[in-house]
Amino acid sequence: MVDHLLGIEGLSKSEIYRYLDTAQSFVEVSERDIKKVPTLRGKTVIHVFFEPSTRTLSSFDIAGKRLSADTINISSSSSSVKKGETLLDTVRTLESMNPDVLVMRHSESGSPHFAARHLSRASVVNAGDGAHEHPTQALLDLLTLRQHFEPKGLGLEGLKVGFIGDVRHSRVARSNIWAHLALGNDVRVVGPSTLVPHEFADSFGSGRVKVIHDLEQGLEGLDVVVCLRMQLERQDEHFIPNLDEYSKEYCVSERVLAKCCPQSVVLHPGPMNRGTEISGDVADGPRSLIRQQVNNGVAVRMAVLYLLARTAEPHEEYER
């Protein structure tokens, strides 16, 4: 019986805390002179990315290497997937190499779940599937918030959290929302109705996620503001009239934050479009936790790999 991390949906509060506690314990490893532990020596982690990625892939790769795992990167550009091989054949080929963990990014929702159903011995980690989930991003966002609130005697619960902008297409928003609902937080999604449809909110259960189309009203009283990346092609797809008009109405600026939620902190999953969904003064200002988010990426991925692939006695065969 192997475990997977396919999404935040369905995780209990205690499972979320287990990931966060473990991740926090790994933060320190990357700050050592010798930033490596032998925990996953002799384990194989295969990264199979059907969408291009630098940050997430590098972050997983470094995480695996700092745990002493062997890591292999397979990208779609070099892959026989191009030659029309089915996802099932690809998954079976990968399984034949006896990986302990398969980290998968795919443009189609549900692909990692498909892989997990067809693998008997490898754990699957979803590194982003379509507009569905991106669970390690949500975990690093939570870890960042916890590091911010705990020294103030607060925690991750009882927060008012808003997601601003292109909610409809955001796997980051989706994974984060499941997490905040599990933690019992008050969740809002804010943006124009084309990008923030009621059906989206309803998919989390009736009435659990509030939809607000006016920015100031949406920000009112928030503790946590999560700005989402606007993808430029949304304009051609007629989800927004044009970027200038969009940002005039929805760009999160210091002015509007100071007015509506002066105590709030701001997250952004990156890469940012400064001036479109977030203003430069917010991105680089004191309420921004954006650099801390990036800094937590490796620790969170180390925790996930560790929790899925560790075994009771990791050293017995190798240390002869």
The residues binding a copy of itself (CB under 8 A) are: 30-38, 41-44, 46, 52-55, 57-59, 61-62, 65-66, 70, 72, 74-75, 77-81, 83-85, 89, 92-94, 96-98, 270-272, 291, 294-295, 297-298, 311, 313-318
Tokens found for residue 192 = 């124009």
Angstrom distance (rounded) from CA 257 to CA 175: 24
Question: Least separation, in Å, of the C-beta of 119 and a copy of itself?
Answer: 13
Question: Least separation, in Å, of the C-beta of 152 and a copy of itself?
Answer: 23
Kindly tell me which of 114 and 204 has the beta carbon lying closer to a copy of itself: 114
Q: Left if phi > 0, otherwise alpha if psi is -120 to 50, otherwise beta: which for 165?
A: left
Question: Least separation, in Å, of the C-beta of 18 and a copy of itself?
Answer: 22
Angstrom distance (rounded) from CA 222 to CA 77: 42
Question: Least separation, in Å, of the C-beta of 38 and a copy of itself?
Answer: 7
Residue with tokens 């946590």: 224
Question: Least separation, in Å, of the C-beta of 256 and a copy of itself?
Answer: 23
Residue with tokens 């991390």: 5
* Cβ contact 260:222 at 8 Å: yes
Angstrom distance (rounded) from CA 247 to CA 6: 33
Kindly tell me which of 72 and 154 has the beta carbon lying closer to a copy of itself: 72
Tokens found for residue 58 = 């590098």
Tokens found for residue 133 = 């989930």
Q: Which of 77, 96, 99 is nearest to 88 (CA)?
A: 96
Kindly tell me which of 78 and 206 has the beta carbon lying closer to a copy of itself: 78
Three-point CA angle 130, 136, 141, nearest 5°? 110
Up-side HSE of residue 141: CA atoms within 13 Å toward CB? Answer: 28
Kindly tell me which of 72 and 307 has the beta carbon lying closer to a copy of itself: 72
Three-point CA angle 101, 14, 291, nearest 5°? 70
Kindly tell me which of 91 and 181 has the beta carbon lying closer to a copy of itself: 91
Kindly tell me which of 157 and 318 has the beta carbon lying closer to a copy of itself: 318
Question: Least separation, in Å, of the C-beta of 32 and a copy of itself?
Answer: 6
Tokens found for residue 290 = 């954006």
Kindly tell me which of 29 and 189 has the beta carbon lying closer to a copy of itself: 29
Question: Least separation, in Å, of the C-beta of 52 and a copy of itself?
Answer: 6
Kindly tell me which of 182 and 278 has the beta carbon lying closer to a copy of itself: 278
Angle at which helices 13-27 and 290-309 cross, to 10°: 110
Question: Least separation, in Å, of the C-beta of 232 and a copy of itself?
Answer: 9
Kindly tell me which of 15 and 70 has the beta carbon lying closer to a copy of itself: 70
Question: Least separation, in Å, of the C-beta of 55 and a copy of itself?
Answer: 6
Angle at which helices 111-118 and 87-95 cross, to 10°: 50
Give start and end residues of each alpha helix (H) in the chain: 13-27, 55-66, 87-95, 111-118, 135-149, 171-182, 198-202, 215-219, 243-250, 254-260, 280-283, 290-309
